[in-house]
Structure 1
Amino acid sequence: MSHTAHIPSHRKPRQRASKTALRAGVAGGVLSTIAVAGAAGPAQAEPVTQTIEMPTITAGLSTTVAASAQATQQVALDLETQADEDAAAATAAKTAKKAKAEAVRKAEAKKKAEAAAKAKAEAAERASRTAERTTLSASSGSSSPSYSSNATGSAASVIAFAQSQVGDAYVSGGTGPNSWDCSGLVQAAFRTVGVDLPRVSQSQSTAGTQVSLDNLQPGDILYWGSAGSAYHVGIYVGGGQFVGAQNSSTGVVQKSLDYDPPSGAVRVL
């Protein structure tokens, strides 16, 4: 036995003959196939090598996005502008409303002041008239010239009622039966003949046809002051005399027109 028999050999193990033949056959077949393909190659169509470019959408997309962003920004600006305009309009409306209310308040205050001034002036004039009547009454006595009216019909009834109240007290707002103010007496006298006059002297001074003081008839309504704003009224009884509820000092009296000349007269009957 050799001294190297126990050392493994570094040679590759021998392959069996069958495996070697099989590999050779396979290789030969492959080479044959390549040879056939090479021979048939020139007769076939050349492969398509044209490059197809796909459309690029990146540029269009960025443009669309930019336009959309710009439109959104414009909408936001429009909304902000509209909000500012609405706020300004609301402020202006509020200011105008406040100014109008202030103007109305001032107008009403002015109107009240004018009415108060007018009433004060009328009261002063009435007080002056009252003082004058009182002085005349004290100097001439309380007796009135006696006169029996020759009026007929409705005028006679009005005069008779007024004369029957001579001596009654004067009370502001009085409408009888034993105390009167000037317009209350005149209204009650005409009511006896079915004539319904307004309650106050201002309205009574325009209740009929205006007549001249030179053309008076018994039953005419006399007034002091301006027509429509008279502060005193009485009834003409004829003979240059009238009956009226003058003031708290004299009460209801019958006096000559010279005692307190009236400003005008209206005829109702």
Structure 2
Amino acid sequence: MSHTAHIPSHRKPRQRASKSALRAGVAGGVLSTIAVAGAAGPAQAEPVTQTIEMPTITSGFSTAVAASAQATQQVALDLETQADEDAAAEKAAKTAKKAHAEAVRKAEAKKKAEAAAKVRAEAEAKERAERASRTSERTTLSASSGSSDSGSSASAPSSSSSNVSGSAASIVAFAKAQVGDAYVPGGTGPNSWDCSGLTQAAYRTAGIDLPRVSQSQSTFGTQVSLDNLQPGDILYWGSAGSAYHVAIYIGGGEFVGAQNSNTGTVQRSLDYDRPTGAVRVL
């Protein structure tokens, strides 16, 4: 017997090592297989759900939206500004048109005023000349009146009263001399009259005092027909005692009267304004 046979670890440890290695290898393979099977098994049995997170874009999006809003607001402001400018331009055009029309109107009014002033100046010059002429006639009438009182005759200044003499001639001549004078309510001369003021002044040249107003003059004297008139008769409009207008018949189918503020004192045909009646004072 070998002297090493009694040493337990001389050969047996090699067998154990080999078996241990084998066992380890088998065990390792089995465990590997199980591990692989375990890893593969659940993948087939249960699906994997994955959640994908998108990148955050809030900051950039907000900036873009803000920029778009600002641009929209700017466009709105531009449109509003343009609308205001258009409205202002339209208003300015209307104002200019109105100003032009007003300037044209004022120019026309000024032109008319100048023309009216020229006409008025000419009329005043003519009236002054006529007044000077009437003053001369009145001086002559005063002398004629004195002559008529002594029995002499005074010839009429126009063909319509050429056959009138005495007091009637004085009344007619005075009335005709006032033609062109103004009509003024309550006027009693010397250059403006109302209707009864004129007849009263005319009769005064013949030494006759008539009542002041038309109503009283229409009954002062004898009522005569309009077909039988004589120069110097008083014509009246309205009824006797309530007449609203009077004038003096001068012959030839005509009368002189202070008519109204538009016409003044005029000489007219009876057909111009037919009177209602007449009275004879002389």
Q: TM-score, normalised by structure 1?
A: 0.45
Q: TM-score, normalised by structure 2?
A: 0.43
